[in-house]
Amino acid sequence: VQLQASGGGLVQPGGSLRLSCAGSGPSFRDYVMAWFRQAPGQEREFVASTTTDGGFTLYEDSVKGRFTLSRDNAQNMVYLQMNSLRTWDTALYYCAASRPNRHISLRDRDRYVYWGQGTLVTVSS
């Protein structure tokens, strides 16, 4: 599956953005989908992930209550709605896909084989 992320930009603290990730291929619905982010000089970190049907979603503690991950399998799309953005949310955001595997944590970066190119989110006044 190929992934294309979009929707990044410059926003003031407290503002909102919605990131989109478009997937190609007929088997998009068979993949666990996730968002990761990487700030300058930092490692790529987990943000959120959802199961193939969107029935379960896991969030990193720092984004709980502010970010919402959703997917539309009919449109091969995954979204990350980001509200109440903070300066420390500034990063390059990547969408990623993984085959289902209940033995590996959804947070585990190494399980995700397919990655989008990243979209830059800058939170600054």
Q: In the predicted model, is pLDDT for residue 25 greater than 90?
A: no
Q: In the predicted model, is pLDDT for residue 107 greater than 80?
A: yes
Q: In the predicted model, is pLDDT for residue 8 greater than 90?
A: yes
Residue ranges with strand state E in the chain: 3-6, 9-11, 17-23, 32-38, 45-50, 57-59, 67-72, 77-82, 91-98, 114-115, 119-123
Helix, strand and coil in the chain, % to nearest 5: 10, 45, 45
Q: What is the mean pLDDT of residues 62-87?
A: 97
Q: What is the mean pLDDT of residues 16-45?
A: 94
